[in-house]
Amino acid sequence: MENLSFYQTGSQEDRNEHPWPGLAPYSESDVHCFFGRNKEADELFRYVRRGVLTVVFGPSGTGKTSLINAGLFTRLRQKYFLPVSIRLAYDKGLVSRSGKKQDRKCSART
C-alpha cells in the first residue's frame, strides 16, 4: 500500500522517476508511462467504435482498469469522443425492480 499512497500524492517528478502506480490503476494522465499494451488498446478501441456494448472482463489485477483509463480513454479523446467512467458498487443492498431494497448482498469481481 505504500506505493499506492506515494503514487497518488507524489510530485510529477517523483512519478516520472517511478512510473508504476503500485496497486492503483493507471489514469489518463499516466499515458506517458503506460506502455506495452498498444495492441490491446487499439483492439478495444475498434470494438467500442463498432459495437453498442463492449465488455471488458478478466481476473482481478490483470490491468483492465488501466487499459480502459490510459489506453482506451486517451484514444477516444483523440477522436473527439467523451468517455465516461462508471463503476457499479455492489456493496450496497440490492434493489428489486419494484424499488424495494433486498437484504442480500452481491460481491462483484473487477
Domain presence at residue 45: yes
Of residues 92 and 73, the one with the higher pLDDT is 73
The residue among 88, 83, 44, 92 whose CA lies nearest residue 64 is 44
SS3 35: coil
101 forms beta bridges with 95
Instruction: Work out how many domains the chain is built from and give that number.
Output: 1
Query: Cell triple for residue 77?
Result: 479523446
Which residue is listed with cell 433486498? 102
Domain presence at residue 52: yes
Domain presence at residue 67: yes
**C-alpha to C-alpha distance for 50 and 57, rounded to whole angstroms:** 18
Decide: 30 and 19 in contact? Cβ < 8 Å: yes
Position 2 pLDDT exceeds 50: no
Domain presence at residue 99: no
Give 10-58 pLDDT, tens digit per residue: 566 666 666 666 778 888 988 888 889 999 999 999 999 998 889 999 9
Domain presence at residue 18: no
Domain presence at residue 42: yes
